[in-house]
Amino acid sequence: MELEMTESGSGPSGWQLAGDATLAYDTYIVNAFMQDYSRRLVETAAIAPGDRVLDVACGTGVVTRLAAGMAGGQGRVVGLDLNAGMLSRARGYEEKAGAVDWCEGSAAAMPFAASSFDAVLCQHGLQFMPDKAAVLSEMHRVLAPDGRLLISVWRSIEHCPWQAAIADAIERSIGSEPAAQVRSAFTFGDADQLRDTIATAGFSDVEIRVESETIRHSSLADYVPGYISATPVAAAVAGLDTGTQNKIVADVREALAAHLVGEGLAVPIEAHMAIAHRP
């Protein structure tokens, strides 16, 4: 497995995956708990046949493909991501996706003309972007007047006990820096901060909703290493001795005792969905 950190037009960006990590991402993150989030985001966007849609930080394309299905053959759907590994896997689904243009590029300097899209979507990407104001300014620029913006980010980590348990276990076994990489996904979880940042970029009617989901898996012992393999700390954990790897699993099991179902788990996770418009 290869993990890589790449640079955006405005600085380093987090959670960059390549190689087998993109398969792990689809298996242990998208298929485990992101599918329902993705459907809700696209449904809330109310994409109609013929719409022009941009999915920013599209990853392996789960939101992009759903949007393409709603926009239909007369629409235009673009998936933009900085990470070539994610886009490579996204392109592998293209036969099922319909008409999607996959574009490698920075969200802080988008290669699109002004007012190119009727809807701009971004699922769990904004929190990783170093210059969020620049990214939102670009989203505003490429969105047509009366266009809609849909952004989801994780709530703060105390609302996401699975990831909190993973981060704490990794910190005990490896150190604070790898744990901080896991926690970085939850550093933009304050609703007021999210609302203010979007409004400052020129968007109106900003609404923030709490969206809840449940992470379910039949085997916690299998899911812990599987999930970790889809994160930037995968290589560090893979290099540990078996005893330390087993300790991480045991620590997660202890932290999530209230969420265990036999040998498996059912643990809540919460996100903020922001809905706004360009005047």
What secondary structure does DSSP assign to 127-155, as a single string? GG-S-HHHHHHHHHHHEEEEEEEEEEEEP
Quick one: how many helices (H) and strands (E) in the chain? 12, 12
Question: What does the longest C-alpha to C-alpha distance in the chain come to?
Answer: 57
Q: What is the mean pLDDT of the chain?
A: 91
Tally of structural domains, the chain:
1
Closest by alpha carbon to 76, among 48, 106, 103, 101?
101
45-91 pLDDT, tens digit per residue, is 999 999 999 999 999 999 999 999 999 989 999 999 999 999 999 99
- pLDDT tens by residue, 113-139: 999 999 999 999 999 999 999 999 999
Q: Is the C-alpha dihedral spanning 139, 140, 141, 142 positive or negative?
A: positive
pTM for the full model? 0.90
Main-chain phi, psi angles of 45, to 5 degrees: -70, -15
Residue 186 lies in domain? 2-277
- Domain containing residue 45: CATH number: 3.40.50.150
**Which of 259, 128, 154 lies closest to 210 in space, CA to CA?**
154
